[in-house]
Structure 1
């Protein structure tokens, strides 16, 4: 039984790291935008509506 050494083509690791970094940036931006939209929607609720879902206005900034 022989074991073959398989190497990635020159630059493949760098390309993989760049692609991974771009995916991570995209993921972070999507999460940031979803959080921003959630805060905006919660801020438009009345204090009574916030209380109905177990929140206070001060809790919005903690999200």
Structure 2
């Protein structure tokens, strides 16, 4: 007969982990949004010539 190890977790540990993961996911989403916002703002401050130098047009900034 094989020995089978049964590990149990404390009551509520899985639910707590899911809540923590949800908060981490929200934080990551907000961080990504803010980075994209800062990038769009910096690109918007560039002249059309500078944007052309890096291969972008003013209309493409919104897609970033």
Q: TM-score, normalised by structure 1?
A: 0.96
Regions of 4+ moved over 2 Å? none
* CA RMSD of superposed structures (Å): 0.7
Q: Could you tell me how far 1:7 is from its partner in structure 2? A: 1.4
Distance in 2, Cα, partners of 1:7 & 1:58: 56
Q: Could you tell me how far 1:3 is from its partner in structure 2? A: 1.2
How big is each residue's C-alpha offset from its partner over 1:16-54, in whole Å with a ceiling of 9 and x where there is no partner? Answer: 000000000000000000000000000000000000000
Tell me the matched-pair count: 63
- 2:57 maps to which residue? 56
Query: Structure 2: 5+ residue runs without aligned partners?
Result: none
Alignment of 1:1-63 (within 5 A): 1-63=2-64
